[in-house]
Amino acid sequence: MINLETPRKLAPLAKQASQVASEVFRPISRKYDRAEHEYPKELDMFAALMDGKDAGAGNAGAGAAGVRRKDKADEESNRNGSNMATVLGVIELCYGDVGLTLTLPRQGLGNSAIASVANDEQLQRFAGKWAAMAITEPEAGSDSASIRTTAVLDGDEYVLNGEKIYVTSGSRAELIVVWASLDPSKGRAAIKSFVVPRDTPGMILERLEHKLGIRASDTANFRLEDCRIPKENLLGSPEIDTEKSFAGAMQTFDNTRPLVAGMAVGLARACIDETRKRLDEAGVTVDYTRPANVQHAAAARLLALEADYEAALLLTLQAAWMADNSKPNSLQASMAKAKAGRSCVDIALGCVELCGSVGYGEDSLLEKWARDAKILDIFEGTQQIQLLVVARQLLGKSSAELR
């Protein structure tokens, strides 16, 4: 059974992440929001620190580090491993700044993809590398099964051709995990993930996107033209199994969606704490011992936003805990991502509204957080896709039966 208290062994990691958020991220948050595409050099000093945490905690870093399912746990055990550690760390870091969290060296979402499906040799070969993840294409956004990028085996190499857009940390990462099809005629079963070193000939950076939020993080568009990589860079099995192949690739999302949910939870908590502080300054105190309907309207609204936050937090912790304890969590991962993404946007906008001109101006970070929040409802699967995944699983429908 899940215990909702922070595990004792993970408490120091969460505390350290919280210190980074408050002492490093917050002071430079506005600076790199304004200086879009400028790399935050202040983060370099934390690369070695994060690596040390990962090594000391069994691949349980404080950022968006890789997570990996272990062997099946004892049914009566309660394991808190890398999934829970990473989610707790991400929540604390995003309390400081989401864009800067995504910019931490060697803490990319591609690391989660590698950790999810790589073999032991690949884990060792790619250890210590910063990996981004490239899934989205101009013709394939939320529907990952529609990917058109191809990977053709030619001797001892795969040749990749296609286009990838909205690659988070794409211009800064050392590796790009590219999703491509071995045989488009076989549909989703032929989709695999390939690790492509950033400097590989044929991996062409087209442009960096200008964005509404998370402006400290770079978002790159790539073109792959006869891009050759060793066949050993394919993650997982090269066999096309029409029953299981795509499900194996999708396991990546079961690990990364709780991470993005954790990002949303951290940002939502930042908005609530800042708003409570502003309301206190205005003489509106939230009384947690009295019903909402007998309090100031602003206090009642904040209580409703906090309830939404708590629900998102609990779903996120459940999804991470299930992964650590080898329980199928695809449904819970999508539920957590859907709830946290939507709640984060609603909470951020609600807090801006409650704080009025203070929330809308640049004297506070609330307006920035409101801009940052929307991406957390979009990437790693949009709100609508998450609800579709949840509906399919609850109703027992396939993707062909429920679109």
The set of catalytic residues is: 380
For residue 397, give the 3-state DSSP assignment. coil
Contact 181, 151 (CB under 8 A): yes
CA nearest 270: which of 378, 365, 349, 339?
A: 365
Interstrand relation of 219-230 and 191-197 (parallel, antiparallel or unpaired) = unpaired
Residues 375, 97: Cα–Cα separation, whole Å: 13
Residues 393, 402: Cα–Cα separation, whole Å: 10
Concatenating the DSSP letter of every residue in 254-305 gives: HHHHHHHHHHHHHHHHHHHHHHHHHHHHTT----TTS-GGGS-HHHHHHHHH
End-to-end, the C-alpha distance of the chain in Å comes to: 34
Q: Which residue has the tokens 């969290």?
A: 101
- 339 alpha carbon, distance to own chain's centre: 14
Q: Where are the alpha helices (DSSP H) in 144-194?
A: none
Contact 226, 202 (CB under 8 A): yes
Q: 173 — phi, psi (to 5°)?
A: -70, 155
Structure tokens at 328: 């199928």
Q: 321 — phi, psi (to 5°)?
A: -65, -40
Contact 69, 81 (CB under 8 A): no
CA nearest 33: which of 260, 222, 227, 216?
A: 216
Residues 82, 112: Cα–Cα separation, whole Å: 11
